[in-house]
Structure 1
Amino acid sequence: MTTTSQCACLKCTCQVEEAKAVVVGGKVFCSEACSTGHLNHEPCHGAGSCGCSCGD
């Protein structure tokens, strides 16, 4: 059974498998970009949209 959580990034709509998550300070993120707050306004999963407004 796979456990998923909502990414803790405020603009992110991703559900992330806990086994693949980036965990920082006890918060679960779907990517390194989300975990660092999109410092350079980069999208959370590189090229292409995954339905999120991250990096906008």
Structure 2
Amino acid sequence: MTTSLKCACPSCSCEADGSSVVRKNGQSFCSDACANGHPNQEPCHDAAGACGCTCGG
């Protein structure tokens, strides 16, 4: 059984699981952008809003 975790980025609604999970400071994130706190307001995935959340922008 696999448990899905919500990305630790406060404004992200993505799941942080599987082979693409990024771990930083004991937390799980869906992307490097979320793990690094969106320093340049970049979206969590390649296309802005492609995943449906508004974090980073």
- Give the equivalent residue in structure 1 for 2:32: 32
Moved over 4 A (4+): none
Using the TM superposition, give the Cα deviation of residue 19 of structure 1 relative to its aligned residue in structure 2, in angstroms.
Answer: 3.9
The answer to whether the Cα contact below 8 Å between 1:5 and 1:18 also exists between their aligned partners in 2 is no
TM-score scaled to structure 1, two decimals?
A: 0.85
Using the TM superposition, give the Cα deviation of residue 18 of structure 1 relative to its aligned residue in structure 2, in angstroms.
Answer: 4.5
Aligned residues between the structures: 56
Percentage of matched positions with identical amino acids: 50
- Give the equivalent residue in structure 2 for 1:2: 2
Alignment gaps of 5+ in structure 1 = none
CA distance in 2, matches of 1:40, 1:51: 19
1:17 maps to amino acid: D
- Give the equivalent residue in structure 1 for 2:42: 42
- Give the equivalent residue in structure 2 for 1:21: 21
Using the TM superposition, give the Cα deviation of residue 33 of structure 1 relative to its aligned residue in structure 2, in angstroms.
Answer: 0.2
TM-score scaled to structure 2, two decimals?
A: 0.84
